[in-house]
Amino acid sequence: MNPRSTVSDVIVIAYGSLMSGLGLQSSKPLRVQSARRMAFDNARRGFGKFSQHGDRFAMLLEPLDTTRPLEARPLPADAPPSAAPEGMGLVVQGNDLAQLCDREGYSGGAARRLRDEAAQHGQDLAAFLWSLLAEAEFDTAVFRQRLFKLVGYTSPHYLPHPVRLEANRFAVTFLAPGREGSGSERVVPVRVRTGQEALMTMPEAWQRKPNRTQLAYFVTCLLGGVHGICVKDLLAHLAHEHQLAQQVRSAVAAEQRQELPRFLDMTGLDHARYWEAFGPPTQAVRRSGLDEFLRAGS
């Protein structure tokens, strides 16, 4: 994804709160080697997993066709918005990956053990996970069972999952397990335990959790739009929800000015690398659909 990355680095694709500096603030600052907008193929996203961090529903990503793997492609800074869900690819080192895993409710220690297994096979972590998924014939349930056997651990919240990129390269994202299981019969996914397995739109999630914590989470996801990540798929459902739309606008506007410096602080990226990846900030926020949404309330 970038010549600065090394074989020990891992590309993590964020699609929810990790797309913004505000969302990243719930963890220690990262040492991001590079970042890039990414477009998923064979995927959809929405809200639906009850969070371990508060009384709210967090973001989910699911394959449209469960018999096909998740794929993604990096987007140049001047690329038009994609019709597919967009996220942010962050190139991080192993220790930062473990930190992100802990944040997502998956043990950082288990992530390190997976990296050790990958190294023994002469692979980086993402390629190793992909090989396990391919050996499982892209059956997610079987893949997770093998992961559990390898490290003796799984999580009811989010689990690392491989994503195929171009040129036989791979990345990692985090998926919340549902009926397909966590890999262990003893660890029941939160989505199953709470009976909330379907993806919800923003208004649907708000109907279930009309509180400040849920609103704040919406904002952490939408602020990815400051960096040009297209969030039109999340905003589209607010068209006829005028009261909620105005609450979201006000909350986003209150954080928008601080988002860029906060993102740079949390990732360690300098202005030159940021500009190279995301382009001029004024163009980025227009590309994402966030600027149009905010202006609609003025």
- pLDDT tens digit sequence for 7-20: 578 999 999 999 99
**Structure-token pair, residue 235:** 């905003």
- Is 202 among the domain residues? yes
Q: What is the dihedral of CA 256, 292, 286, 267, to 10 degrees?
A: 30
Residue 297, domain member (yes or no): no
pLDDT of residue 40: 97
- The predicted structure's pLDDT at residue 5: 43
Position 291 pLDDT exceeds 90:
yes
Task: Count how many domains the chain has.
Answer: 1
Sign of torsion over alpha carbons 96, 99, 101, 106: positive
55 located within any domain: yes
Residue 296 falls inside a structural domain: no
How much is the mean pLDDT over the chain? 94
Helical H segments across 223-298, by residue range: 232-235, 242-267, 271-278, 281-288, 290-295
The pLDDT of residue 168? 85
CB 219 within 8 A of CB 252: yes
Q: What is the per-residue pLDDT across 174-214, written as a single tens digit (0 to 9) for each?
A: 999 999 999 999 999 999 999 988 999 999 999 999 999 99
Residue 159, domain member (yes or no):
yes
- Is residue 298 domain-resident? no
Tens digit of each residue's pLDDT (9 = 90 or more) over 40-82 = 999 999 999 999 988 999 999 999 999 999 999 999 999 999 9
Identify the domain containing residue 100 by its residue range: 1-291
